[in-house]
Structure 1
């Protein structure tokens, strides 16, 4: 589905969150008026926080193939966009996790009543990037892990900070890292990220995939998400790759 020619029924609410995140027929009007919108604290991108690497990790086993990690940290447009620029990541797909298959749709998840969180499934080569290294990027530049049931201008449980652990090892590494960061007080306040068992992941609608790359001039992307990729490049230069790995065939 073309994001410029389709209008989801649920427009996502407030000025900079739901209204401007809509892949909408009114996109050009929004972009034209973007220069007139105030950019205060609630509209600015979250700053990167430089954090230490995880003390515990799981080294890649000899001959290991690709592995997956599922994380949630607010709008999946930005989280997907960040990890599409990480070396060793072979795929980053926007989707939904935490709820049932019957409610895994943009309109229903937007109600905040499904148990789903907007999430990203990351497929990666553990010989190039480890699970704990992905978490370091997640906590440092992809989102603010101290915000409870919100991220920047977006509010609701669907925007919660959550690590969906696929196995006990992932849960152990994530739990250990959160405790390490809280002890070091690197964020100045406790981490709100929860750890939930991964039951299933449901890819989001086609118009959400690769949204940052396809629509860099969208006001929400320009203000909230592109700075995250800039922070990735600055804070993790060895992990950054200029060309994003995209979901869309031929994109």
Structure 2
């Protein structure tokens, strides 16, 4: 997907969790095209190395990290600051879907894992990096939530609940930092065809498509285009906000 418009990120350093694949990698490419240097935080070493190669001449640091671990996130922060000296942009894209089963049948251990990665992860990364941004009086935090966090998809209760939590976390942190130079926003995509589809049943994939008026799934590059604006200096008066990108599905 070709784009004619780019935001200028020269001199800016971005941390992208889940940055080695899918939406995270598309965002990394978009920010790098604008001149940003990158720290990709991911738990898959092989995908990280492939992402680094795919990003070509961009300045890319790869950090192996489990975002659900406080110690690992703090170590990743320290490694990033040692390399870049600052963090201007944080994009929380790391996430898992969990199984497609009813609440009554949902395995507790799998519920906990979804919450650990999808909600605890963004909390820990925001907690680690927001003070760095606040000290510099500049920052842009973009959390990747989901339309499921607004509507509650059946047979995806943990995913839906975790993404609703991301929306609330965004609103809380946005208000806390509103009088600083740090802006905090999130987006609520409908389904985007990535490797995460392998974690879902075909029935659930069909359900999600049936809910999108445009009758197609989103593309990672389309998500990256919206994130690029939210990560830019132009996003100056929006904070604690939720931006819909759902092919017409979102009703509020």
Relative to the length of structure 2, the TM-score reads 0.29
Q: TM-score, normalised by structure 1?
A: 0.29
Structure with greater proportional helix content:
2
The higher-RCO structure (CA 8 Å, 6+ apart) is: 1
